[in-house]
């Protein structure tokens, strides 16, 4: 029996510690201790990965998103991209709504950054990751992130003359925007609907 208890503690400890580190990071960030918050978030990411449990991975995903979004006096693009990448990875592995929602938002932000950096292949993959995780999240915020990512994907595919892919991406944006039932989702859906209509008219007239 003692051995079983020790085994359970070794499994549970990283999960509990990942959640505690996330909460500590939020508290420190609220107190304007940004360096302390960043260290706590990093701990949560590492512990969440070690936990291999849904709640632990989800906490790590949230911490990674917060780490990427934390204010910083200097531009550290690689650090931000690494944190967003960790968020996508842990959010997907968590299999949980909030983890997937965080991953969807992180992937969308990654897509924007990579597109600005002229990394077209990386941006396309990031947008696709966001669509996937946004749909799986089944949350309003996750669906909105996916809708925005699908819109960004459609624009990129349109510029590369992938008409079929563009049409599908706009449709994904419309569907996810509608599912979100939010003002932001409605706005994205409206833009996607308009662009899709124009594209079909152009294709029909060609």
Q: How far apart are CA 146 and CA 195, in angstroms?
A: 17
Q: Are 88 and 103 in contact (CB under 8 A)?
A: yes
pLDDT in tens, 48-85: 999 999 999 999 999 999 999 887 645 689 999 999 99
Domain ranges across the chain: 12-95, 127-206
Per-residue pLDDT at 95 exceeds 70? yes
CATH class of 127-206: mainly alpha
Q: How distant, in Å, are the alpha carbons of 101, 146, 148, 160, 189 from that of 193?
A: 24, 15, 13, 20, 6
- Computed from CA positions of residues 60, 78, 136, 195, in that sequence, does the dihedral angle turn out positive or negative? positive
Closest by CA position to 58, among listed 117, 3, 139: 139
Question: What is the reported pLDDT for 179?
Answer: 96
Question: What is the reported pLDDT for 13?
Answer: 87
CATH class of 12-95: mainly alpha
12-95 matches 127-206 in fold:
no
- Alpha helix locations (H) across the chain? 2-30, 34-51, 54-69, 77-94, 97-116, 120-137, 140-159, 163-180, 183-205
- Confidence (pTM): 0.90
Q: Are 97 and 142 in contact (CB under 8 A)?
A: yes
Structure tokens at 148: 């925005």
DSSP 73: S
Q: How far apart are CA 159 and CA 93, in angstroms?
A: 33
Identify the band that residue 6 occupies on the pLDDT scale cut at 50, 70 and 90.
very low
Structure tokens at 24: 């500590």
pLDDT in tens, 110-162: 999 999 999 999 999 999 999 999 999 999 999 999 999 999 999 999 999 89
């Amino acid at each position: 029996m003692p051995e079983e208890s020790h085994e359970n503690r070794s499994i549970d400890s990283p999960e509990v510690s990942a959640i505690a580190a996330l909460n500590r990071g939020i508290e420190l960030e609220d107190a304007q201790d940004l360096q302390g918050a960043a260290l706590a978030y990093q701990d949560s990411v590492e512990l969440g990965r070690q936990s291999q449990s849904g709640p632990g991975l989800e906490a790590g995903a949230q911490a990674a998103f917060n780490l990427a979004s934390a204010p910083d006096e200097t531009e550290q693009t690689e650090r931000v991209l690494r944190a967003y990448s960790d968020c996508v990875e842990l959010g997907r592995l968590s299999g949980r709504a909030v983890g997937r929602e965080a991953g969807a938002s992180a992937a969308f932000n990654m897509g924007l950054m990579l597109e600005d950096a002229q990394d077209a292949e990386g941006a396309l993959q990031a947008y696709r990751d966001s669509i996937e995780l946004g749909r799986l999240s089944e949350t309003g915020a996750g669906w909105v992130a996916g809708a925005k990512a699908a819109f960004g994907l459609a624009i990129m595919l349109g510029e590369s003359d992938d008409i079929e892919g563009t049409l599908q991406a706009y449709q994904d944006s419309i569907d996810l925007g509608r599912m979100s039932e939010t003002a932001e989702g409605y706005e994205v859906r409206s833009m996607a609907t308009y662009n899709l209509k124009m594209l079909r008219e152009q294709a029909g007239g060609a």
